[in-house]
Amino acid sequence: MTDIGTAPTASNRVVISGRYEVFLDQPLGSGGLARVYRGRDLRARREVAIKTLRDEYRTDPESRRRFRQEARMMAFASHQGLVTIYDLLEQSSDSWIVMELVPGQNLKQVVEREGPIAPPTVVRILEQVAAALDHLHERAIVHLDIKPQNLIRTADGSIKIIDFGLAQSMAPRQDTIGGSTFGTAAYLSPEQGRGEAVDQRTDVYALGCVAHELLTGRPPFDIPEGPDQKRLLIEDHLESEPVPPSRLRPDLELPGWVDDVVGRALEKLPRHRYASVQDFAQAARNGLERAANPEGNDTVALPGQRRSEPRIRWNRPAREHPPAVPPDHFPDEQVEAGPTLARRLWNRGGKVARHTRSLRGTIWRLAMIFAIGNLILGSVILVREGPESLVERFLSVVPGTMTDVSVDGLNLRAGPGAGNSVITILAFGDDVEVTGLSESDEQGRWWPVTVEQDGARYEGWVWAGGLQPNEWTGRMSFMQGIVEGGQDIRDGIGDGVDTVTGLWPF
């Protein structure tokens, strides 16, 4: 393998590993860590792109480790929206990644040449990019450098993601090189700027920056070039609210849903953004369809998650069409709701029960049998194990409350299921906040939680068996009163209880 420490010139042409021809006078791009050149696979007889570390990083062990990690990580990803990695070549003096050469222009060049892109086309781009990123996220990989320069539009209009130099596994902390994190400041998420944990929502933020630029021709924060540009851009991402697209470019007459959909992707706190890139793309698609069919709003469901803190509030004039966000996205606003699911089921299917005497009688008998069975079961549990156990069985874990870890060494995972990567390990007695509804798989039930360790805040999923059922106080005070009364009765029975329970084979 030939070392190419000199600057590229017109005569620079080398062959590495006896197979790959590299044209050093035909650079395709350059980033913070590496350069990419046009090349040719002499054996397969195809054009390729060949990437190598910049001169200043070739002898740095950590930089070379990250370079190898990029190739090995992407070797397990295969998606039409991701550039394909063909080969990794290493020698003591340098390293090379051989990958697919994607013909076309990056979206930065497209916007600079053609101007802002129309919302329908932007939605199609978001859907393609989201599908490719979701493929990575399913493998617990985050890209961390989504920007227009890394999105190539091919001749047929399809989009491919390139450059995985910053990609890493989802983890409690970012990988660094020399103690520094890398990324493009104009598209850097707040958590990246603070050096905090990153996950799929970090890519959601960067994709929101891309959507903002495609729609308006400018990224959310635009600082003139200068020695303080990067620092000022990071400060804006951390502290400032972006100008909504419709206000930034009133001449484009962007539809109202654009501000709301892009605004949620650009939330400062990860938990306030879309849970996934697919949710972001779906929200954009729904907004586009609602604008095209304003009278059919009840047929368009928008992805979203209920939360207690307000999102970005972009004040703008009233629009012709309602914003493409779910009603529960605005907890402090009054939204006129249609019939609930229970009411619709009652109106449609309940008519049969209301007008069929024999069926109504059967339903009442089954309900009575169920109630009596539960009363007997509750009485048995009450006598044998006491009122506390009865309440714990009913309450279990309650979303939106604090509870404790009941086992030692409980894994906090990146998703529901034992197949997801471990973020951190929780100890017996650790306090966790249950943030949403549980999900189940063949291995059991999993709860979404947040926990603080050593001053850092982590979000993930834990096995339900490792959590202590919530204490029966506060919102369940009425139940506590019942339990305390039952405890007094049980104490009054005294020793007779043991005699009775000994007769029951439970």
Catalytic positions, please? 145
290, two tokens:
């609602």
- What does 405-427 look like in DSSP terms, one character per residue? B-SSSEEEESSSSTTSPEEEEEP
What residue type is 293 in one-letter code? N
**CB-based contact 487:475 (threshold 8 Å):** no
Distance (Å, whole) CA 418 – CA 484: 39
- Cα–Cα distances (Å) from 432 to 111, 270, 393, 404, 444, in that order, read 46, 18, 20, 6, 19
State how far the Cα of 84 lies from the Cα of 70, in Å rounded to an integer. 12
CA 250 distance to own-chain centroid: 31
- Find where tokens 């003591």 sit: 92
Residue in the block written with tokens 């714990």:
392
Query: Would you say 133 and 144 are in contact if contact means Cβ atoms under 8 Å apart?
Result: no
What radius of gyration do the chain's Cα atoms show? 29
The residues, ordered by sequence, that sit 6+ positions from 116 with a Cβ below 8 Å of its Cβ are 214, 215, 216, 217, 249, 252
Yes or no: say if 185 and 124 are a contact pair by the CB < 8 Å rule.
no
Residue 161 parent element (H or E) = strand 159-161
**Rounded Cα–Cα distance for residues 414 and 462 (Å):** 9
Half-sphere exposure in the Cβ direction for 330 (13 Å, CA):
15
Outline where 400-495 has alpha helix (H): 477-493
* Cα 362 to chain centroid, rounded: 47
**CA separation for the pair 283, 372 (Å, rounded):** 47
Measure CA 356 to chain center: 49
Query: 16 pairs with which residues across the strands?
Result: 20
> Phi/psi of residue 388, each to 5°?
-60, -45
Cβ atoms of 340 and 280 closer than 8 Å: no
**Are 259 and 208 contacting, i.e. CB atoms less than 8 angstroms apart?**
no
How far is it, in rounded angstroms, from Cα 160 to Cα 179? 31
Eight-state DSSP code of residue 7: P
Beta-carbon contacts of 11 under 8 Å, excluding residues fewer than 6 positions away, are 25
